[in-house]
Amino acid sequence: MILETNRLIIREYTPGDFDALYEILSDAETMKYYPKPYDEAGTMRWLHWSLNNYREYGFGLWAMELKQTGEFIGDCGITMQPIDGQQLPEIGYHIHKNYWRMGYAKEAASAVRDWAFENRNFDILYSYMKYTNIPSQKTAMKNGMTFVEEPERHTERYQKVVDLFSLVGKAQIVPHKLMDAGMQISGCGIAYVMRYVRAMMEGGVELGLRPEDAKQAVFQTMKGAVALLEESGKHPEEAIDAVTTPGGYTIRGLNAMEEAGFTNAVLAGLKANKKE
């Protein structure tokens, strides 16, 4: 058991909670503020995600039971969520619709809020929801939350801008306070990639290739690397594992590059013009 309130037991999820959780997450009315209800696979991912959060952070979404009957009625807890370009602690809650408007969400959220401030070094907690989800907004306000912003109201406007810029390339939205970081990568980064191309060309020439042949080999190699990352969605280090052999020549080359300060040099370049 993690927490106990007047009417609730709040505990960690177990694999045995799958059926009761699926009944909640698969219900269209309950999940109307989500893109769609969860199927069995999605519910299993939710359960595994929660269990993994316990291991990684020491907290997550916890199962809620009625103290008198032991019946599972939903979950409430803290998860780290991407909010405004940062990973921030969010109090979330999901209640079986048979127990809506009985104060269970507020009762659980208040207990979780107090636990978080007493047991974790958080200065602030968030509750993130669609601007149309009025019931959850009311629960958050009863839990002492203060309204900050409604980012989803700007989605249509943002999408028009993205669509416009997508006519000339790929576009993405970056929070204003992260614009400098985005410009360092997308603006200055072009020159840094050119420097990498030059270094690879020089290496090819030293190995015996004609300059034009070395350039074309580098171009095709870069296209292949970008295509692999985009199509697979893998982290670069995971993709490296897929194209190298332990103890092979490529691994030796990568190690030599790191010993020469490759990653540190790239980081130094990106940080050189960072605004203080």
| Three-state secondary structure of the chain | CCEECCCEEEECCCHHHHHHHHHHHCCCCCCCCCCCCCCHHHHHHHHHHHHHHHHHHCCCEEEEEECCCCCEEEEEEEEEEEECCEEEEEEEEEECHHHCCCCHHHHHHHHHHHHHHHHCCCCCCECCCCCCCHHHHHHHHHCCCCCCCCHHHHHHHHHHHHHHHCCCCCCCCCCHHHHHHHHHHHHHHHHHHHHHHHHHHHHHHHCCCCHHHHHHHHHHHHHHHHHHHHHHCCCHHHHHHHHCCCCCHHHHHHHHHHHCCHHHHHHHHHHHCCCC
Average pLDDT for the chain = 87
How many C-beta atoms lie closer than 10 Å to residue 107's C-beta? Answer: 21
Q: State the pLDDT confidence band at 111, using cuts at 50, 70 and 90.
A: very high
CATH architecture of 176-272: Orthogonal Bundle (1.10)
Say what the pLDDT of residue 148 is.
64
The residue-averaged pLDDT of 13-20 equals 95
CB atoms within 10 A of CB 98: 10
- C-alpha distances in Å from residue 122, one per residue of 77, 113, 162: 14, 10, 35
Measure the CA–CA gap between 56 and 75, rounded to whole angstroms.
Answer: 19
Q: What percent of the chain stands above pLDDT 70?
A: 90
User: Per residue in 171-218, pLDDT tens?
Assistant: 766 666 676 777 778 778 888 899 999 999 999 999 999 999 999 999
CATH superfamily of this structure's domain 3-154: Gcn5-related N-acetyltransferase (GNAT) (3.40.630.30)
Q: How many CB atoms lie within 10 A of CB 142?
A: 14
Closest CA to 57 of 16, 93, 89, 94: 89
**Amino acid 11: pLDDT:** 96
pTM of the model: 0.55
Q: What is the CB neighbour count within 10 angstroms for residue 75?
A: 24
Q: Looking at the predicted structure, is the pLDDT value of residue 94 above 60?
A: yes
pLDDT of residue 158: 64
Write down the pLDDT at residue 174.
Answer: 67
Q: Identify the pLDDT of residue 84.
A: 72
**Of 137, 140, 79, which is closest to residue 108 (Cα–Cα)?**
140
pLDDT at residue 238 tops 60: yes
Average pLDDT over residues 118-143: 83
| Lowest-pLDDT choice from 81-95, 136-150, 183-197, 223-237 | 136-150
When pLDDT is cut at 50, 70 and 90, the band that residue 154 belongs to is: low
Q: CATH topology of 3-154 equal to that of 176-272? A: no
Indicate if the pLDDT at residue 123 is higher than 70. yes
Q: What percent of the chain has pLDDT over 90?
A: 54
Domain ranges of the chain: 3-154, 176-272
Mean pLDDT of 132-157: 71
The pLDDT of residue 9 = 96
Residue 230 is predicted with a pLDDT of: 87
The per-residue pLDDT for 275 is 56
Question: Over the stretch 256-268, which tens digit does the pLDDT of each residue have?
Answer: 999 999 999 888 8
